[in-house]
Amino acid sequence: MSVPKNRESVRRPPSLALPRKGGGNGALRIEKLCRACVAPTQAFLSFGALPLANALVAPDAPSSEEERYPLTLTVCTSCRLVQLAETVDPAKLFRQYVYLSSMSPAFVEHAGRLARRLIAERALGPASKVVEIASNDGYLLQHYREAGVPVIGIDPAVNVAQVAAQRDIQTICEFFTAELAGSLKARGEQADVLHANNVLAHVADLPDFVAGIAAILRPDGVAVIEFPYLRELIANLEFDTVYHEHLCYFSLTPLVALFRQCGLAVNQVERIPVHGGSLRLFVQHAGAAGPHPSVADMLAQEIAWGVADDATYRGFASATTQLRDSIPSFLRQLRARGRSMAAYGASAKGATLLNYCGIGRETIDAVFDRSPLKQGLAMPGVRIPIRAADELVRARPDYTLLLAWNFSDEIIAQQAEYCRNGGRFIVPVPSPRIVPAEADSGHAPP
């Protein structure tokens, strides 16, 4: 596919000029050097060739039309950034995005709490400016707008930017880069607060992106950056959060070095319970504020945990390989007893899990999902049809594999009637288990 000369990865500050990385052509580039510091990387886990996790397909589309790309985790030998060896053309991944943040009321509420906190702490008002990178459908900026604080959203996905526009949230439909940030700055559009939630992992050119943050932040501004935490991913064997859209898997250690390269400082860090356990960083221009003790504490914890040790990554790879076999065998044993089985959450992580574990229509009859954008389509690769979530109660499969386990409490609460009628969910990671637990020994887990 020909790529429009997109704005991703065009300009770097001279001090960060990188040699041309990788090779390959067209939609896939193989990276041999670290995306943050250009040192060599070392592969530690291969998932084989997987379809793009959000590329839902028509149920009857020929499988020859489905593209598959290798998926390999590597770790930087110098800064210890965990990343993919492959970069799929971002225009293929993000121009039509099927994930609407507002589909999760819990996530919208999480965003509302964060906005109210920043409005109070930074005394934001009509003269302030809040910018969000990857603003999606306006799930976060709407809270600022309601409080009378001017906002600008930036999101490359045409379809979700249209949803934001309906909420009257001004959205620039572009990839965020140093070039875009520079042009906003030239127009006097700088941020008192900049949000970047769950977007850093999508960025192919990290130094350029961080240079853009430095450009768009006012001298006393703060960037609030959230992303799933690598230590949680490894501790809970969340291997299914690995897919082509997630180019990097962050711990604090490599990020402190990356921000420092661009004149920024991580001044505070918090652990938050979203997306399987995340970090929230508060980043400011170097010297704008003193660091909170949380930063040094967490860096010390990461050393003790093994951020620098190859054994940490090798151990994760071997536990993941075992789980790849134990999940399908758990499901097969239930099927062998004549139980019916569906799945819930046509999520990207679901696509990784089903394809990597080799679970298809022989095991799962349908995937239920609340998003109307997904219903009527099928999961990539394994071609399991996607149906409306409110049909789950009527279909009443004995077991429902929870593919969106990061929203498990919310989903189980929404599907209380299904559980009252005897339906049970299976949470796949860190090891498959049935919830709510079954009292009846006839339904005991294998």
**Least Cβ distance, residue 33 to Zn ion (angstroms):** 8
Return the number of the residue (55 or 81) whose C-beta is nearest Zn ion.
81
Which one of residues 79, 85, 222, 266 is an interface residue with Zn ion (CB under 5 A)? 79
What character string, x for contact with Zn ion (CB under 5 A) and - otherwise, covers 148-187?
A: ----------------------------------------
Return the number of the residue (36 or 163) whose C-beta is nearest Zn ion.
36
Is residue 76 at the binding interface for Zn ion, with CB under 5 A as the rule? yes
**Least Cβ distance, residue 77 to Zn ion (angstroms):** 8
Return the number of the residue (103 or 257) whose C-beta is nearest Zn ion.
257
Is residue 82 at the binding interface for Zn ion, with CB under 5 A as the rule? no
Return the number of the residue (41 or 142) whose C-beta is nearest Zn ion.
41
Is residue 429 at the binding interface for Zn ion, with CB under 5 A as the rule? no
Is residue 115 at the binding interface for Zn ion, with CB under 5 A as the rule? no
Is residue 323 at the binding interface for Zn ion, with CB under 5 A as the rule? no
Instruction: Tell me the C-alpha to C-alpha distance, in Å, between residue 160 and each of 95, 152, 153, 368, 369.
Output: 9, 14, 11, 22, 18
**Least Cβ distance, residue 317 to Zn ion (angstroms):** 19
**Least Cβ distance, residue 9 to Zn ion (angstroms):** 17
Return the number of the residue (10 or 18) whose C-beta is nearest Zn ion.
18
Q: Two tokens at 148?
A: 């009378």
Return the number of the residue (80 or 275) whose C-beta is nearest Zn ion.
80
**Least Cβ distance, residue 239 to Zn ion (angstroms):** 22
Is residue 36 at the binding interface for Zn ion, with CB under 5 A as the rule? yes
Give the CA angle between residues 331, 337, 341 to the nearest 5°: 45
Q: Segment contacting Zn ion (CB under 5 A): 71-79, 97-105, 140-148, 331-339?
A: 71-79
**Least Cβ distance, residue 385 to Zn ion (angstroms):** 42
Return the number of the residue (99 or 209) whose C-beta is nearest Zn ion.
209
Q: Segment contacting Zn ion (CB under 5 A): 29-37, 350-358, 384-392, 402-410?
A: 29-37
Return the number of the residue (178 or 255) whose C-beta is nearest Zn ion.
255
Contacts 24+ apart (CB under 8 A), 384-389: 384/343, 384/354, 384/360, 385/59, 386/56, 386/346, 389/344, 389/414, 389/415
Phi, psi (rounded to 5 degrees) for 264: -115, 155
Is residue 34 at the binding interface for Zn ion, with CB under 5 A as the rule? yes
Return the number of the residue (76 or 230) whose C-beta is nearest Zn ion.
76
Return the number of the residue (79 or 298) whose C-beta is nearest Zn ion.
79
Is residue 37 at the binding interface for Zn ion, with CB under 5 A as the rule? yes
Q: Segment contacting Zn ion (CB under 5 A): 27-35, 150-158, 159-167, 241-249?
A: 27-35
| Residue 4: cis peptide before it, omega within 30 degrees of 0 | no
Binding residues for Zn ion, total number by CB under 5 A: 8
Is residue 258 at the binding interface for Zn ion, with CB under 5 A as the rule? no
**Least Cβ distance, residue 298 to Zn ion (angstroms):** 19
**Least Cβ distance, residue 247 to Zn ion (angstroms):** 13
| Residue 436: cis peptide before it, omega within 30 degrees of 0 | yes
**Least Cβ distance, residue 43 to Zn ion (angstroms):** 14
**Least Cβ distance, residue 17 to Zn ion (angstroms):** 16
**Least Cβ distance, residue 35 to Zn ion (angstroms):** 7
Cα separation, 5 vs 154, whole angstroms: 18
Return the number of the residue (18 or 237) whose C-beta is nearest Zn ion.
18
Q: Segment contacting Zn ion (CB under 5 A): 26-34, 149-157, 268-276, 343-351?
A: 26-34
Binding site for Zn ion (CB under 5 A): 34, 36-37, 39, 76, 78-79, 81
